[in-house]
Amino acid sequence: MPPAEAADPSTEVEVSALLERGRTLATPVLRAAVDRLAPPMDTVAAYHFGWIDAEGNPADGDGGKAVRPALALLSAQAAGRDPEVGVPGAVAVELVHNFSLLHDDLMDGDEQRRHRDTVWKVHGPAQAILVGDALFALANEILLELGTTEAGRAARRLTAATRALIDGQAQDISYEHRDRVSVRECLEMEGNKTGALLACASSIGAVLGGADDTAAEALERYGYHLGLAFQAVDDLLGIWGDPDATGKQTWSDLRQRKKSLPVVAALAAGGPASDRLGEILAEDAKSSDFENFSEEEFAARAALIEEAGGREWTAQEARRQHAIALEALDAVGMPPQVRAQFTALADFVVVRKR
Amino acid sequence: MPPAEAADPSTEVEVSALLERGRTLATPVLRAAVDRLAPPMDTVAAYHFGWIDAEGNPADGDGGKAVRPALALLSAQAAGRDPEVGVPGAVAVELVHNFSLLHDDLMDGDEQRRHRDTVWKVHGPAQAILVGDALFALANEILLELGTTEAGRAARRLTAATRALIDGQAQDISYEHRDRVSVRECLEMEGNKTGALLACASSIGAVLGGADDTAAEALERYGYHLGLAFQAVDDLLGIWGDPDATGKQTWSDLRQRKKSLPVVAALAAGGPASDRLGEILAEDAKSSDFENFSEEEFAARAALIEEAGGREWTAQEARRQHAIALEALDAVGMPPQVRAQFTALADFVVVRKR
């Protein structure tokens, strides 16, 4: 996927350097924020972020890809400011993201995250609720203590994104109890769960840097559609991803009966493979022995999804959302090298393997 | 307890009218805020607030005493503004309060609140977490969408109060696993769990009305100590309250092994009754049959707490905190009738029976 404009060698972008910069600038501020928590919440949060292990010993855990902090710093530059201006925004977004992970893992009963036991598994449900709440509160605190009009605007937008995140989780839960979910409903849910916070990450630095609403909204549009592209790729990896790269089981999303994009697209496609898939999944939903299904049984379901066109549709959807994201950048007058970096991050999101 | 200044007949205060005004002005805005939630969260929230029953039929539930909204409106008047200026603050504080109830009931495993099954009992743990999160987010939304500098300050102070609330719940949970809790620790926990949000309620209308930091902090001091007085009275009612008035079981806090003020004060007092109480409670902690104890057994424990001085100490502490609260009002230049109303509300809190 080529960037929207011809790459100038002088602006050639190293995505890993961008991600690293986000981590380097945001992590110390994030750690200082978490250190404000009263015991034992500080320890529980440090475990969640992978800074210590379950016994309290220092650890160097996988803190995730850190796309959000990188975007937040970049968006400050989109407003013509230093990347540092975006740091409180990067930290606030990371805090909200991790608040939602803590609560979602508990609600969904997920026992593993980033190759480790989840917080509710190690420290109990009450701590998962409590520390999630504390991280959410900290996110607002970090922004509002800046005391500027811009910070108030940023907090307001972050709050709206958080509400969308919560709406998305509510939809996700309600869809689990339904036989059929439409492609539109699935995209709406993924827009809420993934798009809204990436939209906020992609604009919050600019908002803190004094960007007007038009620029902020264009950057949000970029982030929202980048989020949908990200999620489409995630849904592909959730079925066909390499377990060594993703850290998840084979056919992970199928094992969890997740109504992800490839599944709903395959079911909506019609035709023999689609019909057969619908029959099989309806039986699976009633099965009491589902967890003991063999590799071959899951592989057969994945093959039907592919045959019905769900895999190709989702890959196409990722490319479509990627294109809409890049188009949104046209509405923001930003330095060419900053635009090239936004483009490089978008490219990275759709070609990643984990 | 006489008000701090001689009552002028023309400013004589009806507390019930003050509480009623808070309800009348805040409830429609609160309901409109809750209506913004996506289904099924709007329904779950409406159940929690007592507006509908578990089957979804309209109900006229006991929404609580509504002290917080009354204080928020009054604090706008303390800044020389109309009570209406405090309405978004009243609603935001109520949303945070109810967010904490939803999560605390789940963490504590409490099955009843305001004479009804709690949300997690009726709608499941996931909805209790999710709707709690949504109410917390709504609280910030309601304030920040005002878009003023004052609203930003109010949101910052509300966030600080929320963090204190979470700290208090963390302390409460950790104290449950300990044999002994000091009086100082108990007061600190109650200051966080009850004082901080009443402090915010007592000042947020003034902050929205443009009061300076000195006035806001004095009003917070009033609310904080009012909260401690409130909690001391609550702790007395939790043991010696009339079940018909409180809606709780007899000896409610003893049944829950709560280390409330009368208990910790009695244990700290020393002497034969205090020592005997310590021995009995240590045995109770190990008992597997505790829930089946007879009325007489709980009554004997209550009698020992009283003999050791825990009841009188707590009543005295309520009066002491009430006096500090009223003193704090000296630092705010407010119309005499507004001050009389703050005083009347404080008097109400310490003499209430439920």
pLDDT tens track for B189-226:
999 999 999 999 999 999 999 999 999 999 999 999 99
Q: Is the Cβ pair B136, A133 closer than 8 Å?
A: yes
Topology (CATH level 3) of domain A9-351 = Farnesyl Diphosphate Synthase (1.10.600)
Local mean pLDDT, 10-residue blocks, chain A (354 residues): 42 80 96 96 97 93 83 98 98 98 95 91 97 98 97 98 98 89 97 98 98 97 98 96 84 90 97 96 89 92 98 98 98 95 94 80
Specify whether the CB–CB gap between A297 and A210 falls below 8 A: no
Among A300-304, B128-132, B233-237, B240-244, which is the least confidently predicted range? B240-244
Q: Which of B106, B141, B152 sits opposite A129 (nearest CB)?
A: B106
Q: Which residues of B touch A41 (CB under 8 A)?
A: 166-167, 170
Q: Which H or E run contains B237?
A: helix B213-240
Distance separating alpha carbons of residues B332 and B28, to the nearest angstrom: 30
- Using pLDDT thresholds of 50, 70 and 90, give the confidence band for residue B62: low
Distance separating alpha carbons of residues B35 and B43, to the nearest angstrom: 9
- Using pLDDT thresholds of 50, 70 and 90, give the confidence band for residue B179: confident
pLDDT recorded at residue A287? 87
Q: Is the Cβ pair A163, B40 closer than 8 Å?
A: no
pLDDT recorded at residue A62? 65
CA dihedral of A229, A232, A236, A237, whole degrees rounded to 10: 60
Specify whether the CB–CB gap between A154 and A92 falls below 8 A: yes
- The per-residue pLDDT of chain B, averaged, comes to 93
- Using pLDDT thresholds of 50, 70 and 90, give the confidence band for residue B65: confident
Q: Is the Cβ pair B144, A155 closer than 8 Å?
A: yes
pLDDT recorded at residue A60? 83
Q: Quick count: other Cβ atoms within 10 Å of Cβ A213?
A: 11
Integer CA distances (angstroms), B270 to A107, B196, B257, B302, in order: 46, 31, 20, 16
Q: Is the Cβ pair B40, A174 closer than 8 Å?
A: yes
Distance separating alpha carbons of residues B223 and B203, to the nearest angstrom: 8
Specify whether the CB–CB gap between A161 and A199 falls below 8 A: yes
pLDDT recorded at residue A83? 98
Q: Where are the domains of chain A?
A: 9-351
Q: Which of A38, A41, A162 sits opposite B137 (nearest CB)?
A: A162
Say which residue the tokens 């066109």 belong to: A309
The answer, for A159 touching chain B at a CB cutoff of 8 Å, is yes
Q: Where are the beta strands (DSSP E) in A197-336?
A: none
The answer, for A174 touching chain B at a CB cutoff of 8 Å, is yes
Burial class (CB in 10 A: 0-12, 13-18, 19+), B220: buried
- Using pLDDT thresholds of 50, 70 and 90, give the confidence band for residue B178: confident
pLDDT recorded at residue B12? 47
Q: Which of B38, B152, B162 sits opposite A137 (nearest CB)?
A: B162
Q: Could you tell me which chain B residue has the CA closest to the CA of A145?
A: B156
Residue B3 clears pLDDT 90, i.e. is over it: no
Specify whether the CB–CB gap between A254 and A298 falls below 8 A: yes
pLDDT average, residue stretch B126-130: 98
CA distance A6 to chain B (A): 41
Task: Give the amino acid at A135.
Answer: L
The tokens describing B218, both together, are 């004095």
Interface test mutation site (partner B, options A159, A169, A192, A197, max chain B beta carbons within 10 A): A159
Distance separating alpha carbons of residues A142 and A29, to the nearest angstrom: 10
Residue B80 clears pLDDT 90, i.e. is over it: yes
Specify whether the CB–CB gap between B264 and B186 falls below 8 A: yes
> When comparing pLDDT for A113 and B161, which is higher?
B161
Distance separating alpha carbons of residues B326 and B223, to the nearest angstrom: 9
| Interface predicted TM-score of the whole assembly (ipTM), two decimals | 0.93
pLDDT recorded at residue A12? 47
Specify whether the CB–CB gap between A202 and A230 falls below 8 A: no
- Using pLDDT thresholds of 50, 70 and 90, give the confidence band for residue B56: very high
Among A119-123, B14-18, B34-38, which is the least confidently predicted range? B14-18
Query: B12-351: what CATH class?
Result: mainly alpha
pLDDT recorded at residue A248? 80
Q: Is the Cβ pair A134, B160 closer than 8 Å?
A: no
The answer, for B134 touching chain A at a CB cutoff of 8 Å, is yes
Specify whether the CB–CB gap between A235 and A253 falls below 8 A: yes
Q: Return the bridge partners of A113, or none.
A: A116
Q: Is the Cβ pair B155, A167 closer than 8 Å?
A: no
